[in-house]
Amino acid sequence: MKIITLIIAILMSYSTFGQSYKKSICEHRKEYKEGFKEEGSPIKPEDIRYLRFFKPDEDYRVTATFTHTPDEEPFDMVTSSGKMKKYVKYGELSFEIKGEAHTLEVYQSIRLRAMPQYKDYLFIPFKDTTNGTTTYGAGRYLDIEIPDIQNGKLVLDFNKTYNPYCAFSDGYNCPRPPAANHLKIAIEAGEKNYAK
């Protein structure tokens, strides 16, 4: 009887966590949409309804191992307009999704690094096999901050993946994910293609 009670308690706890997690992703997306109401947005406020997302999926929230790469030289990352932006490789993330091992490089903007309010910002542009079908063809982005890395670990949540401004409008210089960040799996999480 005690074992059955324990099992029920564990299942209820897991269910509560799942609901709480989905709620946190919904809140994250609500804040994301609010950003499109600000000046300089690539879409009009009335077009926010055309933003589309995969359902929150905890399979795409993984704990990654982070390896710092402090001796990297800055390089030019090509953008959608052909212009270059200066970045430096900050480190590498190793993780598993559905039993398969993958790696992604993490970058730091040289320009933002010089600004006190953005000095901890890190950038993960990537492509996967959904690009050009259910998601934006040129790839998607994830943002993290240096304090998110604790004891060589980082929670990497693809449910927070978002589109570059170039997915919505022309006239932007959106970094293209380097070849090292082309994943050979489908990341069915985060933002989908813009529906308008």
The reported pLDDT for the residue numbered 6 is: 43
pLDDT digits (tens, 9 = 90+) for 156-181: 999 999 999 999 999 999 999 999 99
pTM of the model: 0.89
Which DSSP string do the residues of 16-70 spell out, in sequence order?
HHHHHHHHHHHHHHHHHHHGGGSTT-SS-GGGGGG--BPPP-GGGEEEEEEEE-T
pLDDT digits (tens, 9 = 90+) for 32-47: 999 999 999 999 999 9
Distance CA(154)–CA(144), nearest Å, equals 9
- Under 8 Å between Cβ of 112 and 145: no
The reported pLDDT for the residue numbered 19 is: 83
Domain positions in the chain are 51-181
Phi, psi of 38 (to 5 degrees): -85, 160
What's the mean pLDDT in 23-35? 96
Map tokens 């693809």 to a residue. Answer: 158
pLDDT digits (tens, 9 = 90+) for 108-119: 999 999 999 999
